[in-house]
Structure formats: C-alpha cells, structure tokens
Structure 1
Amino acid sequence: MKYVTRWYVWAALAASCSTTLAQPGASWHQGPGPDSAAMGMPPSPEHAGSPTERWLQMLEEFNPDEYQRLIALQDQDPEAFRAEMRERLQKHRKQFIRRMHGNPPPPSTTVGGGAPGEDPEDRAVEVRTLLETIRPEVERLVEAYRNTENEDERAAIRQALRGLVAQVQEARIASHQRRIEQARAMLEGLESKMAARLEKQEQQLDRAVDRILSEKNRRPPPPPPAD
C-alpha cells in the first residue's frame, strides 16, 4: 500500500507541474496509456519501461517534433533508431556525471541550440532530475501530514510542499522561456537573412536594368527609311 501511495504522490507532483505547460502532440503509443502520457505523468512502477521508453516520453512532452521524428525512424529503420538512442543516452549520462562533479557540459552541437551546453533535451533532463531529487522529501512530508491531526503542523507541511512544487514549476517555466527565446533568436536570424537577400535582389535588378540601357545606347541608330 505504501508503494502505491508513493506512486500517486509522484504522479500528482509531476502532473501539477506539467499540465499547464505541456505541449500538444500525439499520445505516446507505449507505456501506461494516453491519459497519463498526455498529462506528463511518469509511467507507473509496473510499466516504468526501459531507458529508451522513458526518454521518448520525456521528448513527447518537451520536444514533440523530435519525438515524432524518432518514432518514424523507429518504424522505418529500427537499427538506426537503436543506434541513435544509444548515442543520446550515453551522451546525457556523461553530462549528468559531469554536473554531479561540478564540471560544465561541453558546448552543444544541436542545430539551433541555445547557450553553450544547452538544448531542450538537456533542460528537460534537468527538470526530471529535480523531480527525482525532491521526491523523497515530498513523500516524507505527505507521510507526516497524514500522521498528524494538528492543524498548525499540517499548515506548515502544506507550505513546505508548496515550496517544493514551486521549484519544479519554476524550472519548467524557465525551460519553456529559454525555448521561446531560442525560437525568437532563430526568427530574428531568418529575418536578417531575408532582408539581406531582398537588398541584394534590388541591387541585382538595378544592375540588370543598367545593362539593358547601356546595350541599347551602344547599338547603331536604325537606317533611315527608304525613299
């Protein structure tokens, strides 16, 4: 019974911090089912799945386009899919170890990546790592809340839980805000390139007109009409 309680505590915590920010996308076709996946909830203990499945579930929430690409690759070329997932998991395992030892990750090579060492998947992993970190304290507080009838103690526990949930919400909001800033910077870059192309197009048009006029001026005048 205690194990089941822990699962519901974890699910409630994850759902409370993700439902308002979850991005639209097709429901995950593996794991506990579409309802829990759509809410951003982790798989239940009996359906926790492999690291690859958990990674895909994380991608569905934080990077739906990449999730769809990988699902298509899984159907079209299972061997290539497995190779890419091995590489991704090894990369982030190494980055997690670096962070644990206080070392910064190497610069990101992700196309359209933001700051050095950052990409949407890295930030998603950070949020999930935070969830894992605070889960024992959340479970302890929930147990303490249920074991006391003192209203002052319960109020203090609720306040402590609010602080923990706020940490995760702030991390998720910051993650989405950085993605918005990254998209804005990418859009500004595209607009700058388009403006440069339009400017060159005007110059090319002017040169083309100049050539036409200069060639016409160099041509001999037409012969006079015959009498």
Structure 2
Amino acid sequence: MDHTLPPKTQHELIERTRTIAGLTLGELAQRQHLTVPAELLHAKGWIGQLIEQALGATAGSRAKPDFAELGIELKTIPLNAQGRPKETTYVCTVPLNEAASSWEDSWIRRKLNHVLWLPIEADADLPVSQRRIGSAILTQLNSEQDQQLKQDWLEHMELIATGRINEISAHHGTYLQVRPKAANNKALRDTTDEDGQSIKTLPRGFYLRTKFTAEILNQHYAI
C-alpha cells in the first residue's frame, strides 16, 4: 500500500493507523526515509509531519482538515510516563478581526468536529527514536463537548470583539484556552481596543486543555 496517497475512505485511514500502531518513531521514520532529530526543541513539528506523511494527509498548511476529502483532522497526543496528556493541543489561530462569526460556522469547530487522535509516548527520558505510537481514536464531538467548547469560544470571542483581547489569560475556558502564538515578539497583528482604535498585538492560538484530551483517552482506554 502506498501511504503517500491520501486514503479514500475512513476505513482505509483506520487501517493505516493500525499498521503504524506499536511502532517506534524511529521505525516509522525509517519506513518513510526520514531522519529522526536528536531532540524536538528545534523540530517541534517533526512528529506531526512524520505521521501526516505516513497516513497520507493532504491539507498541509491549507485551511482544510488534514484529510480534506474525508473531513477528518489529525491530532497527536504526547503522553507522559503515566500515560496522561503531557501538554495542551494546538488547534488553530484565533481570528482577531472576524469575531462576529458563529461557533457553528467557525473554523475551529470544523477542525474539532471529526478528529483522528494518535497518542504517542513523550516521556523526556525516552529518546525520540524509541517513543512508541499508540492506537488511534476517531471521534466526533458529542453534544456536551460541543456545548462546553462553544461556551469557551464565546467567552474568548466576546473579549476580542469588545477590544479586551489583552484581558484573556490561559485561565479562561474549561476546555479551550487562548494563548499567544508567535516565534518572536515582533510578529504582531492588527486588532482593535475597547475604544475601537487599531492596535498591534501578538497572534493568538486556540489550545485544547489536557482536561479535554484526557477525557478522550479515558472514554476509549478507561485509564
């Protein structure tokens, strides 16, 4: 099977995840003819790129789900030594000048509606090449998750729409938080303040708290 081609069906995608479950990142990288970085500090996107290549993801940097034809987003979940999510999960950038759109039509909801989660060992004591890939979980938002995410989203977007973006902290939101996302402090974006005046601010990203991803794991693995 040529895993560089996009999967044509959901079943085919799931079958591909089964062929890589249990492999180490080093073993999968060898299959894909890629070199494993010694550490991930300066190669943060490497694992995601490796998995995308192996499974045939097509979106790249385009504003589409990773498996565009299937409407499925791919998210890896780095796990600590106890099998718990190690960090928050980046979803997408925050639209600083499009605060009037609805949750139902938002890009973040489209990305989270149908997700293929792939747990991966991320214990700092494990060399990158020896970290194993877990069994994939395919989910769709249930009504409770959808409602809580919507509530979090509305809270964040109201602050942005009323020019109070700088009041947003990582403490806001039950499942969804907003944090600055920029390589440096010079990567500024335009938005407005409370008086409607144009100001410069750091770009922001939507992140899922580990509470959310832990619930995904709990529901499927009963850990």
Q: Would the TM-score normalized by the shorter structure come out above 0.5?
A: no
TM-score, structure 1 normalization? 0.26
Higher relative contact order (CA 8 A, sep 6+): 2
Structure label with greater radius of gyration: 1
Greater strand proportion: 2
Greater helix proportion: 1
TM-score, structure 2 normalization? 0.26
